[in-house]
Structure 1
């Protein structure tokens, strides 16, 4: 997945932690390259409780890594995929994934 802002591709990191950061923008998980992290106006989503941009998005939920708040992602927001150059609507995808997980995990 490229940097959402400049399109740079992530390369294999040397030993240690990756300098790339995960973030959430318009309800979708994005990557931010080290160069773009220096920009002050990244237009990233923030936590409603603490204002942090340290958010992760997974299976229809958005979690703040600073304060731990979890909320449901809005279903009316467009999803951004790694393959598409711009936003693409995928209606019902979250519901389909949830139903599939319920079947596999035997939830009622």
Structure 2
């Protein structure tokens, strides 16, 4: 899953806690890369807990849970996936990578 703001994809994890943050936006789980977390007000367009107003939410199995106060509610929105505009989806990235590899192998040496 890419960063919802810039479209960057996570690389192989390094030991320790990930610098990427999970959050909920429009009732969908998203990831925020470390660079986008440095932007002032980066939590403003995230969903917030209806009880404590925290943006530390996780979405799983149709429920949204606040990691700060523990409040759980049912997610109302289903269906579409959030992908940053202009950012290629994973299938497009895989297709491009396969095209590059197959062209190199198909060329006479």
Judge same fold: TM > 0.5, yes or no: yes
**RCO comparison, higher one (Cα < 8 Å, 6+):** 2
Aligned length: 83
Which residue number corresponds to residue 33 of structure 1?
A: 33
Correspondence 1:69-108 to 2 at 5 A: 69-75=71-77, 78-80=79-81
**Which consecutive unaligned segments of at least 5 residues does structure 2 have?**
86-109
State the TM-score, normalized to the length of structure 1: 0.69
State the TM-score, normalized to the length of structure 2: 0.69
CA distance in 1, matches of 2:76, 2:37: 26
Q: Residues 85 and 6 of structure 1: is their aligned pair in 2 closer, same or farther, counting only changes over 3 Å?
A: closer
Check whether the contact 1:27–1:79 (CA below 8 A) recurs between aligned residues. Answer: no
Q: Which 4+ runs in 1 deviate beyond 4 A?
A: none
Task: Compute the displacement of 1:62 (Å).
Answer: 0.2
Structure ID, larger Rg: 2
Check whether the contact 2:5–2:84 (CA below 8 A) recurs between aligned residues. Answer: no
**Which consecutive unaligned segments of at least 5 residues does structure 1 have?**
87-108
Which residue number corresponds to residue 18 of structure 1?
A: 18
RMSD: 1.8
